[in-house]
Amino acid sequence: MTLLVSAALTAMSCGYRVLPDRFGVYIWGALPPVANPLAAASQDAQYLGVHVVRVCLSPYWDPQPSSGDRFLPLDQKMWRADYREILSSFPVVMITAYDMATYDARYRDRNGFVTNAKWTAALDSVRDEFRRFTFELSKLPNTFIISNWEAENDATDDQWADYMDYLQARLDGIAWGRRKAREAGHPGTVLSAVEFTHVKPGWSDPRLGAPPRKACGLDAALNLRGVDFLSYSAWESIYYTSNPRYTPEQLHNAFSTIWADCQQHLQRCRLIVGEAGYLRDSDPDNSNLGAIFAECLRSGADYIVNWAAYDQPGQVDSYGLNVDESKFGKFDLARHLTSQGTFFRDFINHGMSSSSTRAFWTIPLHGRVLAFLRGTGLLTRQP
């Protein structure tokens, strides 16, 4: 794995287009206030140079919230012009997908369906909607990865068993649709992912004032059938401290746990970093974001998705501390490239050949990340 990542980083420093195939941006939340926000986002992501994007396709969020077809099933909504454009514009599209089949009653809780028979019927509908969605996606000649959103934030401990039934129904539908697509000779590739935030049971945060979580998304993902990718939303490992070693070490520990547990359960382990980022006003020289990227590459992840394409005005932390979390964007909502956007674009496209990334490579990083980067030759190579 180390040799693979070393080769990727060395290739990047020599100017080969390796990292654009692995890095992507998340297009979700606030988008530019234009007539076709998703088309604008597609254009801006292409300007960054990424070959991977992540987008949400769901009744819970829509780039055009007043659209009359917001509540269409997935297999129909994907053909809307703005969605079709973004699905067709990138070689790899990760889709945070939620169905209409359980929208009204909320998929997380069996009690919302009154009887077990209605719950079973709902799961059958989920399975069939994801079958149809997979079949339709495969008509496009790209790679699509269908995922949930952070499992532990998507369901409480009390809802967990039912939520696992829901995720399994989705996965079964994807597998079913994939078989039908192969029989039909469709050109596209549709894969599945299960996203989680915790790699061990018992996670807690004193700021929440809640008991430790019983649920562990990594354990759940490893025990579900038909999972192609584990997707780690890495916020649990990302901290704002004065110690530059802390976040890389936390990421390294999380990735080590993921790989060790995966190798005990699955014949083939494939990893996506489904979300990772750093507030740019807390990272003026981009050293923290660069160290996060380096550790994610070191982990051997197939894809690394950076949150987010755009700033999210008004977004604050979920702990009641009133921390401004709006400045993760590669662009502001007027579509102006931010300083972090410049760094990101140069990082994945030019390696050390630009001033913004050259500044990062000369920052005095510490510990294992520093040793790793030195081992690749990047810290001594001149542009």
Whether residue 379 lies inside any domain: the answer is no
Whether residue 377 lies inside any domain: the answer is no
Whether residue 370 lies inside any domain: the answer is no
Whether residue 383 lies inside any domain: the answer is no
Whether residue 11 lies inside any domain: the answer is no
Specify which residues 23 forms β-bridges with.
304
pLDDT at 369: 42
Which residue type occupies 222? L
Tell me the DSSP string of 299-359: TT-SEEEES-SB--TT-B-TTSS--B-----SB-TT-PBPHHHHHHHHHHHHTTSSHHHHH
Whether residue 354 lies inside any domain: the answer is no
Q: Angle at CA 242, nearest 5°, toward 19 and 1?
A: 30
Distance CA 69, CA 73 (A): 9
Burial of 264 (0-12, 13-18, 19+ CB in 10 A): exposed
pLDDT at 355: 55
pLDDT at 104: 77
The pTM score is 0.89
Whether residue 56 lies inside any domain: the answer is yes
pLDDT tens, residue by residue, 177-196: 999 999 999 999 999 999 99
pLDDT at 322: 80
Domain count, the chain: 1
Which residue from 184, 100, 174, 89 is spatially nearest to 133, judged by alpha carbons? 174
Whether residue 217 lies inside any domain: the answer is yes
Token digits for 337?
């490239």
Domain range enclosing 299: 18-346
The average confidence (pLDDT) of the chain is 88
Token digits for 251?
């990421």
pLDDT at 57: 98
CATH at 231: 3.20.20.80
